[in-house]
Protein backbone atom coordinates (compact mmCIF):
# COMPACT_ATOMS: atom_id res chain seq x y z
CA UNK A 1 0.00 0.00 0.00
CA UNK A 2 1.36 3.42 -0.96
CA UNK A 3 1.71 6.28 1.52
CA UNK A 4 -1.28 8.02 -0.05
CA UNK A 5 -3.46 4.97 0.74
CA UNK A 6 -2.50 4.58 4.40
CA UNK A 7 -5.65 6.43 5.46
CA UNK A 8 -7.68 3.41 4.27
CA UNK A 9 -6.05 1.10 6.84
CA UNK A 10 -7.60 0.55 10.26
CA UNK A 11 -5.91 1.95 13.35
CA UNK A 12 -5.04 -1.48 14.73
CA UNK A 13 -3.04 -2.43 11.65
CA UNK A 14 -1.42 1.01 11.41
CA UNK A 15 -0.13 0.89 14.98
CA UNK A 16 1.15 -2.65 14.45
CA UNK A 17 3.06 -1.41 11.39
CA UNK A 18 4.42 1.54 13.39
CA UNK A 19 5.72 -0.72 16.13
CA UNK A 20 7.38 -2.97 13.55
CA UNK A 21 8.86 0.13 11.86
CA UNK A 22 7.25 -0.71 8.55
CA UNK A 23 5.96 2.89 8.35
CA UNK A 24 6.82 6.15 10.08
CA UNK A 25 4.50 8.68 11.77
CA UNK A 26 5.49 11.34 9.25
CA UNK A 27 4.18 9.12 6.43
CA UNK A 28 0.85 8.82 8.22
CA UNK A 29 0.63 12.56 8.70
CA UNK A 30 1.25 13.13 5.00
CA UNK A 31 -1.39 10.55 4.10
CA UNK A 32 -4.08 11.99 6.34
CA UNK A 33 -3.32 15.56 5.26
CA UNK A 34 -3.86 14.46 1.69
CA UNK A 35 -7.16 12.87 2.61
CA UNK A 36 -8.31 15.92 4.58
CA UNK A 37 -7.54 18.21 1.65
CA UNK A 38 -9.58 16.03 -0.70
CA UNK A 39 -12.75 15.44 1.36
CA UNK A 40 -13.13 17.86 4.26
CA UNK A 41 -14.39 20.70 2.09
CA UNK A 42 -17.49 18.58 1.53
CA UNK A 43 -18.23 17.80 5.20
CA UNK A 44 -16.45 20.41 7.38
CA UNK A 45 -15.38 17.96 10.07
CA UNK A 46 -11.91 19.38 10.84
CA UNK A 47 -11.88 23.19 10.78
CA UNK A 48 -8.74 23.55 12.95
CA UNK A 49 -5.54 21.87 11.77
CA UNK A 50 -2.16 21.58 13.52
CA UNK A 51 -0.06 19.93 10.82
CA UNK A 52 3.25 21.63 11.66
CA UNK A 53 2.91 20.72 15.33
CA UNK A 54 2.19 17.12 14.29
CA UNK A 55 5.29 16.91 12.10
CA UNK A 56 7.42 18.23 14.98
CA UNK A 57 6.04 15.52 17.28
CA UNK A 58 6.58 12.90 14.58
CA UNK A 59 10.32 13.66 14.53
CA UNK A 60 10.52 12.37 18.10
CA UNK A 61 8.86 9.08 17.22
CA UNK A 62 10.84 8.67 14.02
CA UNK A 63 14.00 8.70 16.18
CA UNK A 64 12.71 6.35 18.88
CA UNK A 65 14.04 2.87 19.42
CA UNK A 66 11.89 -0.14 20.16
CA UNK A 67 8.65 0.82 21.91
CA UNK A 68 5.99 -1.84 21.77
CA UNK A 69 4.14 -1.34 25.04
CA UNK A 70 0.48 -2.39 24.93
CA UNK A 71 -0.71 1.15 25.65
CA UNK A 72 1.56 3.04 23.25
CA UNK A 73 0.26 4.32 19.90
CA UNK A 74 3.84 4.96 18.69
CA UNK A 75 3.12 8.16 16.75
CA UNK A 76 -0.39 7.55 15.39
CA UNK A 77 -2.09 10.79 14.28
CA UNK A 78 -5.46 11.35 15.96
CA UNK A 79 -8.25 13.92 15.83
CA UNK A 80 -9.17 15.80 19.01
CA UNK A 81 -12.64 17.17 19.62
CA UNK A 82 -12.79 20.95 19.95
CA UNK A 83 -14.07 20.66 23.53
CA UNK A 84 -10.61 19.34 24.50
CA UNK A 85 -7.56 21.56 24.87
CA UNK A 86 -4.45 20.81 22.80
CA UNK A 87 -1.43 22.83 23.90
CA UNK A 88 -0.58 25.59 21.44
CA UNK A 89 -3.59 24.88 19.21
CA UNK A 90 -6.71 27.02 18.90
CA UNK A 91 -9.61 25.66 20.97
CA UNK A 92 -13.00 27.34 20.52
CA UNK A 93 -15.62 25.06 22.15
CA UNK A 94 -17.72 26.20 19.17
CA UNK A 95 -18.17 29.60 20.84
CA UNK A 96 -17.36 33.09 19.50
CA UNK A 97 -16.21 33.93 23.03
CA UNK A 98 -13.24 31.60 22.51
CA UNK A 99 -12.82 31.95 18.74
CA UNK A 100 -9.16 33.02 19.16
CA UNK A 101 -8.30 31.12 22.34
CA UNK A 102 -5.04 29.15 22.33
CA UNK A 103 -4.44 27.11 25.51
CA UNK A 104 -0.87 26.76 26.68
CA UNK A 105 -1.22 23.12 27.70
CA UNK A 106 -3.20 20.08 26.64
CA UNK A 107 -5.94 18.97 29.03
CA UNK A 108 -5.65 15.72 31.01
CA UNK A 109 -7.45 13.64 28.36
CA UNK A 110 -5.12 14.75 25.56
CA UNK A 111 -2.00 14.89 27.74
CA UNK A 112 -2.29 11.20 28.59
CA UNK A 113 -2.91 10.24 24.95
CA UNK A 114 0.11 12.28 23.84
CA UNK A 115 2.26 10.69 26.55
CA UNK A 116 1.28 7.32 25.12
CA UNK A 117 2.16 8.08 21.55
CA UNK A 118 -0.81 9.88 20.00
CA UNK A 119 -0.16 12.88 17.73
CA UNK A 120 -3.06 15.36 17.43
CA UNK A 121 -3.35 16.47 13.82
CA UNK A 122 -6.62 18.45 13.83
CA UNK A 123 -9.52 19.61 16.01
CA UNK A 124 -12.99 18.30 15.13
CA UNK A 125 -16.05 20.52 14.87
CA UNK A 126 -18.64 20.73 17.66
CA UNK A 127 -21.91 22.48 18.53
CA UNK A 128 -21.65 25.69 20.54
CA UNK A 129 -20.96 24.37 24.06
CA UNK A 130 -23.32 21.38 23.81
CA UNK A 131 -25.97 19.82 21.60
CA UNK A 132 -27.01 16.98 19.32
CA UNK A 133 -26.39 18.73 15.96
CA UNK A 134 -22.89 19.90 15.01
CA UNK A 135 -23.02 23.55 13.97
CA UNK A 136 -21.72 26.76 15.52
CA UNK A 137 -21.16 30.43 14.64
CA UNK A 138 -17.38 30.01 14.46
CA UNK A 139 -16.95 27.09 12.05
CA UNK A 140 -20.40 26.42 10.61
CA UNK A 141 -22.14 23.08 9.95
CA UNK A 142 -20.63 19.61 9.80
CA UNK A 143 -22.34 17.36 7.27
CA UNK A 144 -23.08 13.65 7.31
CA UNK A 145 -20.91 11.83 4.73
CA UNK A 146 -23.62 9.26 3.98
CA UNK A 147 -25.77 12.16 2.74
CA UNK A 148 -24.26 15.63 2.95
CA UNK A 149 -27.71 17.22 3.20
CA UNK A 150 -28.15 15.62 6.62
CA UNK A 151 -26.91 16.15 10.18
CA UNK A 152 -23.82 14.41 11.51
CA UNK A 153 -25.31 14.43 15.02
CA UNK A 154 -23.46 15.88 17.96
CA UNK A 155 -21.68 16.95 19.85
CA UNK A 156 -18.87 14.67 18.62
CA UNK A 157 -20.11 15.09 15.05
CA UNK A 158 -16.80 16.27 13.62
CA UNK A 159 -14.94 13.33 15.17
CA UNK A 160 -17.46 10.79 13.82
CA UNK A 161 -17.39 12.27 10.31
CA UNK A 162 -13.59 12.39 10.26
CA UNK A 163 -13.50 8.68 11.10
CA UNK A 164 -16.16 7.67 8.59
CA UNK A 165 -14.42 9.52 5.75
CA UNK A 166 -10.89 8.31 6.45
CA UNK A 167 -9.57 11.63 7.74
CA UNK A 168 -8.70 10.02 11.06
CA UNK A 169 -7.85 6.59 12.43
CA UNK A 170 -8.95 7.50 15.98
CA UNK A 171 -10.73 10.48 17.52
CA UNK A 172 -11.62 11.75 20.97
CA UNK A 173 -15.24 12.14 21.92
CA UNK A 174 -17.10 13.07 25.06
CA UNK A 175 -20.56 12.29 26.21
CA UNK A 176 -23.03 13.94 28.58
CA UNK A 177 -26.40 12.98 27.16
CA UNK A 178 -25.35 11.13 24.03
CA UNK A 179 -22.74 13.41 22.46
CA UNK A 180 -20.55 10.47 21.51
CA UNK A 181 -23.16 7.80 20.83
CA UNK A 182 -25.57 9.81 18.64
CA UNK A 183 -22.94 10.84 16.04
CA UNK A 184 -21.38 7.38 16.13
CA UNK A 185 -24.77 5.96 15.16
CA UNK A 186 -25.50 8.65 12.56
CA UNK A 187 -22.13 8.09 10.83
CA UNK A 188 -21.70 4.33 11.11
CA UNK A 189 -18.66 4.33 13.42
CA UNK A 190 -17.98 2.90 16.88
CA UNK A 191 -17.75 4.85 20.11
CA UNK A 192 -17.47 4.03 23.80
CA UNK A 193 -18.96 5.97 26.67
CA UNK A 194 -16.94 4.41 29.52
CA UNK A 195 -17.81 4.36 33.19
CA UNK A 196 -16.97 7.60 35.03
CA UNK A 197 -13.27 7.85 35.85
CA UNK A 198 -11.96 5.39 33.27
CA UNK A 199 -10.72 8.17 30.96
CA UNK A 200 -9.44 11.29 32.78
CA UNK A 201 -11.01 14.71 32.19
CA UNK A 202 -9.51 18.18 32.15
CA UNK A 203 -9.82 21.05 34.63
CA UNK A 204 -12.58 22.78 32.62
CA UNK A 205 -15.07 20.17 33.84
CA UNK A 206 -16.65 19.93 37.27
CA UNK A 207 -14.32 17.42 38.97
CA UNK A 208 -16.93 15.39 40.84
CA UNK A 209 -19.58 15.21 38.13
CA UNK A 210 -20.34 11.71 36.80
CA UNK A 211 -22.61 12.61 33.87
CA UNK A 212 -19.96 13.97 31.46
CA UNK A 213 -17.31 11.43 30.47
CA UNK A 214 -14.53 11.33 27.88
CA UNK A 215 -14.36 8.39 25.51
CA UNK A 216 -12.66 6.93 22.42
CA UNK A 217 -14.10 6.73 18.91
CA UNK A 218 -12.92 4.58 15.99
CA UNK A 219 -14.04 2.76 12.87
CA UNK A 220 -14.34 -0.55 14.75
CA UNK A 221 -14.55 -1.97 18.25
CA UNK A 222 -10.93 -3.15 18.03
CA UNK A 223 -9.79 0.38 17.17
CA UNK A 224 -11.80 1.77 20.09
CA UNK A 225 -10.12 -0.74 22.41
CA UNK A 226 -6.75 0.40 21.07
CA UNK A 227 -7.53 4.01 21.92
CA UNK A 228 -8.92 3.07 25.32
CA UNK A 229 -5.62 1.38 26.13
CA UNK A 230 -3.84 4.66 25.39
CA UNK A 231 -6.40 6.94 27.04
CA UNK A 232 -7.43 5.16 30.24
CA UNK A 233 -5.69 5.88 33.53
CA UNK A 234 -5.24 8.24 36.45
CA UNK A 235 -4.37 11.91 36.00
CA UNK A 236 -4.08 14.39 38.86
CA UNK A 237 -6.47 16.86 37.16
CA UNK A 238 -9.32 14.37 37.55
CA UNK A 239 -9.88 13.11 41.11
CA UNK A 240 -12.33 10.44 39.91
CA UNK A 241 -9.86 8.91 37.45
CA UNK A 242 -8.11 5.66 38.29
CA UNK A 243 -5.69 3.11 36.87
CA UNK A 244 -7.54 0.07 35.57
CA UNK A 245 -6.54 -3.46 36.48
CA UNK A 246 -6.89 -4.37 32.80
CA UNK A 247 -3.42 -4.44 31.26
CA UNK A 248 -4.72 -4.26 27.70
CA UNK A 249 -8.27 -3.90 26.39
CA UNK A 250 -7.02 -4.99 22.97
CA UNK A 251 -5.72 -8.25 24.42
CA UNK A 252 -9.06 -9.17 25.99
CA UNK A 253 -10.72 -9.13 22.56
CA UNK A 254 -8.97 -12.43 21.80
CA UNK A 255 -11.28 -14.06 24.37
CA UNK A 256 -14.45 -12.49 22.94
CA UNK A 257 -17.62 -14.57 22.84
CA UNK A 258 -21.23 -13.88 21.98
CA UNK A 259 -23.44 -12.99 24.96
CA UNK A 260 -25.85 -15.62 26.15
CA UNK A 261 -28.78 -13.46 27.26
CA UNK A 262 -29.63 -9.86 26.42
CA UNK A 263 -32.50 -7.49 27.00
CA UNK A 264 -33.70 -5.40 24.06
CA UNK A 265 -36.11 -2.48 23.79
CA UNK A 266 -36.46 0.11 21.06
CA UNK A 267 -37.79 2.80 23.37
CA UNK A 268 -36.95 1.53 26.88
CA UNK A 269 -40.66 1.65 27.63
CA UNK A 270 -40.68 5.47 27.82
CA UNK A 271 -39.78 6.83 24.37
CA UNK A 272 -41.05 6.90 20.77
CA UNK A 273 -38.76 5.52 18.08
CA UNK A 274 -39.09 6.23 14.35
CA UNK A 275 -40.27 3.25 12.29
CA UNK A 276 -37.24 3.21 10.00
CA UNK A 277 -34.92 2.95 13.00
CA UNK A 278 -37.09 0.36 14.76
CA UNK A 279 -37.16 -1.82 11.64
CA UNK A 280 -33.36 -1.85 11.42
CA UNK A 281 -32.71 -2.56 15.09
CA UNK A 282 -35.34 -5.30 15.20
CA UNK A 283 -33.80 -6.95 12.14
CA UNK A 284 -30.39 -6.76 13.78
CA UNK A 285 -31.65 -8.36 16.97
CA UNK A 286 -33.32 -11.12 14.95
CA UNK A 287 -29.86 -12.04 13.65
CA UNK A 288 -28.80 -12.52 17.26
CA UNK A 289 -31.83 -14.69 18.00
CA UNK A 290 -30.99 -16.82 14.95
CA UNK A 291 -27.54 -17.40 16.46
CA UNK A 292 -29.12 -18.85 19.58
CA UNK A 293 -28.84 -15.83 21.86
CA UNK A 294 -31.71 -15.52 24.32
CA UNK A 295 -33.28 -12.09 23.73
CA UNK A 296 -35.89 -10.82 26.19
CA UNK A 297 -37.91 -7.63 26.54
CA UNK A 298 -37.27 -7.67 30.27
CA UNK A 299 -35.57 -4.27 30.64
CA UNK A 300 -35.25 -2.09 33.77
CA UNK A 301 -37.94 0.45 34.57
CA UNK A 302 -36.77 3.88 33.31
CA UNK A 303 -39.80 5.81 34.58
CA UNK A 304 -38.95 9.37 35.65
CA UNK A 305 -35.35 9.14 34.44
CA UNK A 306 -35.69 11.74 31.67
CA UNK A 307 -37.04 14.35 34.07
CA UNK A 308 -34.21 13.56 36.48
CA UNK A 309 -31.61 13.94 33.75
CA UNK A 310 -32.94 17.37 32.80
CA UNK A 311 -32.57 18.44 36.43
CA UNK A 312 -29.02 17.15 36.84
CA UNK A 313 -27.91 18.49 33.45
CA UNK A 314 -29.27 21.92 34.32
CA UNK A 315 -27.36 21.92 37.60
CA UNK A 316 -24.16 20.88 35.81
CA UNK A 317 -24.44 23.59 33.13
CA UNK A 318 -25.34 26.18 35.73
CA UNK A 319 -22.28 25.20 37.76
CA UNK A 320 -19.93 25.17 34.77
CA UNK A 321 -21.22 28.20 32.88
CA UNK A 322 -23.09 30.43 35.32
CA UNK A 323 -20.20 32.88 35.69
CA UNK A 324 -19.63 32.93 31.93
CA UNK A 325 -23.27 33.86 31.41
CA UNK A 326 -22.90 36.88 33.68
CA UNK A 327 -20.20 38.35 31.44
CA UNK A 328 -20.98 37.06 27.94
CA UNK A 329 -24.74 36.50 27.83
CA UNK A 330 -25.16 38.16 24.41
CA UNK A 331 -22.46 35.90 22.91
CA UNK A 332 -23.98 32.58 24.00
CA UNK A 333 -26.68 30.81 21.97
CA UNK A 334 -30.23 31.22 23.15
CA UNK A 335 -30.66 27.48 23.74
CA UNK A 336 -27.60 27.25 25.99
CA UNK A 337 -28.63 30.41 27.87
CA UNK A 338 -31.93 28.72 28.63
CA UNK A 339 -30.18 25.58 29.84
CA UNK A 340 -27.89 27.55 32.16
CA UNK A 341 -30.77 29.59 33.56
CA UNK A 342 -32.75 26.43 34.19
CA UNK A 343 -29.98 25.42 36.57
CA UNK A 344 -30.67 28.52 38.67
CA UNK A 345 -34.32 27.48 39.11
CA UNK A 346 -33.63 24.00 40.49
CA UNK A 347 -34.80 23.68 44.09
CA UNK A 348 -33.26 21.38 46.71
CA UNK A 349 -36.40 19.25 46.44
CA UNK A 350 -35.88 18.93 42.66
CA UNK A 351 -32.34 17.80 43.22
CA UNK A 352 -33.29 15.32 45.94
CA UNK A 353 -35.93 13.82 43.64
CA UNK A 354 -33.56 13.50 40.69
CA UNK A 355 -30.82 11.88 42.73
CA UNK A 356 -33.28 9.40 44.28
CA UNK A 357 -34.53 8.45 40.81
CA UNK A 358 -30.97 7.83 39.63
CA UNK A 359 -30.24 5.90 42.81
CA UNK A 360 -33.26 3.66 42.21
CA UNK A 361 -32.38 3.17 38.53
CA UNK A 362 -28.88 1.96 39.32
CA UNK A 363 -30.30 -0.58 41.75
CA UNK A 364 -32.71 -1.81 39.06
CA UNK A 365 -29.79 -2.12 36.63
CA UNK A 366 -27.93 -4.30 39.12
CA UNK A 367 -30.95 -6.60 39.35
CA UNK A 368 -31.18 -6.70 35.54
CA UNK A 369 -27.53 -7.76 35.20
CA UNK A 370 -28.09 -10.67 37.56
CA UNK A 371 -29.90 -12.42 34.70
CA UNK A 372 -28.67 -10.62 31.55
CA UNK A 373 -25.30 -9.97 29.95
CA UNK A 374 -26.26 -6.81 28.04
CA UNK A 375 -28.99 -4.26 27.44
CA UNK A 376 -29.56 -3.17 23.82
CA UNK A 377 -31.45 -0.16 22.42
CA UNK A 378 -30.99 2.27 19.50
CA UNK A 379 -28.27 4.94 19.49
CA UNK A 380 -30.86 7.44 18.29
CA UNK A 381 -34.65 7.40 18.02
CA UNK A 382 -34.49 8.83 14.50
CA UNK A 383 -32.25 8.67 11.44
CA UNK A 384 -30.19 11.74 10.43
CA UNK A 385 -32.28 14.85 9.77
CA UNK A 386 -31.77 17.84 7.41
CA UNK A 387 -28.83 20.08 8.31
CA UNK A 388 -31.05 23.16 8.12
CA UNK A 389 -32.98 22.03 11.21
CA UNK A 390 -31.56 23.28 14.49
CA UNK A 391 -33.08 20.32 16.28
CA UNK A 392 -35.82 17.70 15.99
CA UNK A 393 -39.31 18.72 17.09
CA UNK A 394 -41.17 15.42 16.76
CA UNK A 395 -40.64 11.69 16.34
CA UNK A 396 -43.31 9.99 14.20
CA UNK A 397 -45.92 12.51 15.35
CA UNK A 398 -44.82 12.55 19.00
CA UNK A 399 -43.79 16.09 19.96
CA UNK A 400 -40.42 16.69 21.64
CA UNK A 401 -40.89 18.99 24.62
CA UNK A 402 -37.32 20.38 24.60
CA UNK A 403 -34.61 20.76 21.98
CA UNK A 404 -32.68 17.78 23.36
CA UNK A 405 -35.56 15.32 23.85
CA UNK A 406 -35.03 13.76 20.43
CA UNK A 407 -31.91 12.03 21.79
CA UNK A 408 -33.44 11.05 25.13
CA UNK A 409 -32.72 7.39 24.27
CA UNK A 410 -29.06 8.10 25.04
CA UNK A 411 -29.38 10.32 28.10
CA UNK A 412 -31.63 7.71 29.70
CA UNK A 413 -28.63 5.36 29.55
CA UNK A 414 -26.29 8.10 30.83
CA UNK A 415 -28.25 7.99 34.08
CA UNK A 416 -27.23 4.37 34.68
CA UNK A 417 -23.46 5.18 34.83
CA UNK A 418 -22.94 1.93 32.92
CA UNK A 419 -20.40 1.71 30.09
CA UNK A 420 -22.09 1.72 26.70
CA UNK A 421 -20.90 1.30 23.13
CA UNK A 422 -22.54 2.52 19.98
CA UNK A 423 -21.96 0.20 17.03
CA UNK A 424 -23.62 0.27 13.61
CA UNK A 425 -26.16 -2.53 13.15
CA UNK A 426 -27.72 -1.85 9.74
CA UNK A 427 -29.03 0.70 7.26
CA UNK A 428 -32.36 2.35 6.53
CA UNK A 429 -33.97 2.11 3.09
CA UNK A 430 -32.21 5.42 2.30
CA UNK A 431 -28.88 3.73 3.14
CA UNK A 432 -28.30 5.71 6.31
CA UNK A 433 -26.52 3.89 9.13
CA UNK A 434 -28.36 3.00 12.32
CA UNK A 435 -26.51 2.53 15.59
CA UNK A 436 -27.21 0.22 18.50
CA UNK A 437 -26.35 1.02 22.11
CA UNK A 438 -24.74 -1.96 23.82
CA UNK A 439 -24.86 -1.45 27.58
CA UNK A 440 -22.68 -3.41 29.99
CA UNK A 441 -22.18 -3.69 33.73
CA UNK A 442 -20.61 -0.75 35.63
CA UNK A 443 -16.80 -0.81 35.30
CA UNK A 444 -17.29 -3.71 32.90
CA UNK A 445 -15.51 -2.16 29.91
CA UNK A 446 -13.51 -5.31 29.12
CA UNK A 447 -16.55 -7.60 28.95
CA UNK A 448 -18.50 -4.95 27.03
CA UNK A 449 -15.77 -4.59 24.41
CA UNK A 450 -15.60 -8.36 24.03
CA UNK A 451 -19.35 -8.65 23.43
CA UNK A 452 -19.49 -5.63 21.13
CA UNK A 453 -16.59 -7.03 19.11
CA UNK A 454 -18.55 -10.23 18.43
CA UNK A 455 -21.79 -8.37 17.68
CA UNK A 456 -19.91 -6.14 15.24
CA UNK A 457 -18.81 -9.23 13.36
CA UNK A 458 -22.41 -10.38 13.11
CA UNK A 459 -23.60 -7.05 11.69
CA UNK A 460 -20.57 -6.79 9.35
CA UNK A 461 -20.62 -3.03 8.74
CA UNK A 462 -17.24 -1.84 10.01
CA UNK A 463 -15.57 -3.13 6.85
CA UNK A 464 -17.55 -0.67 4.73
CA UNK A 465 -15.49 2.26 6.06
CA UNK A 466 -14.01 4.64 5.16
CA UNK A 467 -16.32 6.22 2.57
CA UNK A 468 -16.21 9.21 0.25
CA UNK A 469 -18.82 11.89 1.09
CA UNK A 470 -22.06 11.35 -0.81
CA UNK A 471 -24.11 14.30 -1.97
CA UNK A 472 -27.77 14.12 -1.01
CA UNK A 473 -30.52 14.08 -3.59
Catalytic residue among 26, 179, 220, 381: 179
CA distance 63 to 78: 20
Task: Say if CB 394 and CB 403 are below 8 A apart.
Answer: no
Do residues 189 and 230 lie in contact, with contact meaning Cβ atoms separated by under 8 Å?
no
Whether the Cβ atoms of residue 457 and residue 425 lie closer than 8 Å to each other: no
Residue pair 461/424 in contact (Cβ under 8 Å)? The answer is: yes
Q: What angle do CA 422, 45, 411 make, to 5 degrees?
A: 35
- Cα dihedral value 234, 235, 241, 244, nearest 10: -10
Q: How many CB atoms lie within 10 A of CB 430?
A: 13
Is the Cβ–Cβ distance between 435 and 217 less than 8 Å? no
Q: Which of 106, 155, 333, 381 is labelled catalytic?
A: 155
155 is catalytic: yes
Residues 6+ apart with CB under 8 A from 296: 261, 262, 263, 264, 372
Q: Is 129 helix (H, G, I), strand (E, B) or coil?
A: coil
* 130 Cβ neighbours under 8 A, 6+ residues apart: 155, 176, 179, 317, 336, 339
Neighbouring CB atoms inside 10 A of 327's CB total 10
Residue in 26, 31, 81, 220 annotated catalytic: 81
Chain-centre distance for alpha carbon 130:
13
d(CA 433, CA 445): 24
CA distances from 39 to 34, 101, 125, 150, 392 (A): 9, 27, 15, 16, 27
Q: Give catalytic residues, as residue numbers.
A: 81, 155, 179
Amino acid sequence: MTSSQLWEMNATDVVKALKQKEIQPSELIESTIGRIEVVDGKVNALPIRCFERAFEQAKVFDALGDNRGPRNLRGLPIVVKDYNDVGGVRTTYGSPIYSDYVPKNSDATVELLEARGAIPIAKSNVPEWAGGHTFNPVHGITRNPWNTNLSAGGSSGGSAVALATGQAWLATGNDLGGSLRTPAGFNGVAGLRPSPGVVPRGKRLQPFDTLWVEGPMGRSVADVALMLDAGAGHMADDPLSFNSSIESYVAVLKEAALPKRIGFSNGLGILPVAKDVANVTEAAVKKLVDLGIDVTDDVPDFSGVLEAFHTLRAVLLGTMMGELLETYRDRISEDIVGNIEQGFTITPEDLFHAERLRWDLIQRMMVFFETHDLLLCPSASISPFPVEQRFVTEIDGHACETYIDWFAITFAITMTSCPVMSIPCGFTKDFLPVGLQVVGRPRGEAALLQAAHKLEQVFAIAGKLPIDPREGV
